[in-house]
Amino acid sequence: MTEIPEHLRKRAEEARAKAAAAKGGDAPAATSEGSGEKVPAELLDRGTPAATPPEGAAPAQAGPAQGSGPDGHNQRLLTVVKSGSIQDTKSTPIDKVHVWPHLLVAEFLSAIIITLFTTLFSIFVNAPLLELADFNKTPNPSKAPWYFLGLQELLTMFHPMVAGVTIPGIGLFLLVLAPYIDKNPSRKPEDRKFAVSLMTVHLMFWAVLVMIGSFFRGPGFNFVFPWNSGLFFEL
């Protein structure tokens, strides 16, 4: 059984003494020491132990005795505490949701909308295709589509094994390792310097190669200035 602190025991004894002195008339309710709060008289009476009947007397009828609690245990009134001081509950906000169905449903609906838009756009708008290719006449310069021009630009500088396999493979490998190297859970760009720097270098490296191949390559895929020789690029 938990030991009752001495200051609480003294406070309960003083409350019982005041209640005993106030019996026999309409006495004001006792107050708990130090708090200034009134304690109802029925609570003080409930804290008084039940009197034991004398020997030979008939036992009282069954029922809960005054001042007894559940299972007949005597209850001792210690103090009255406001519920707000002991029920201070603070909920912690949680900003996490499950991948299914929250994320996957949104991605699935987005994919359906984009596919429908692309289908309708291709029905009403014709693609800017050129005339049929003539295998007897090769265009000069012969350029790949713009999204492959960065790779074609690398082929003018390095061996095909290096330009087509080694450099793109290293770039993809670094992007795959990025989540395992930078484990910072923050979503603020200023806190993700490594991830932002890696993605910026990757995009700028490829964007510069694409722009050089698109606007600075002329006949024979030689380097030219577009403001002198004109543009040799078509979508």
CATH number at residue 199: 1.10.287
Would 108 be classed as within a structural domain?
Answer: no
Residue 68 in tokens: 């007894």
Question: What's the number of domains the chain is made of?
Answer: 2
| H or E segment and range at residue 41 | helix 41-46
Would 107 be classed as within a structural domain?
Answer: no
Would 192 be classed as within a structural domain?
Answer: yes
Would 59 be classed as within a structural domain?
Answer: no
Confidence class for position 120, pLDDT limits 50, 70, 90: very high
CA distance 140 to 156: 16
CB proximity list for 164: less than 8 A, separation 6 or greater:
151, 154, 155
**Averaged pLDDT, 72-76:** 58
Confidence (pLDDT) at 30: 46
Confidence class for position 169, pLDDT limits 50, 70, 90: very high
Would 168 be classed as within a structural domain?
Answer: yes
Asked if 65 and 40 count as a contact pair (C-beta separation under 8 A), the reply is no
Confidence (pLDDT) at 154: 92
Confidence (pLDDT) at 32: 47
Domain range for 29 is: 1-46
Would 184 be classed as within a structural domain?
Answer: yes
Would 40 be classed as within a structural domain?
Answer: yes
Selected residue with higher pLDDT from 200 and 93: 200
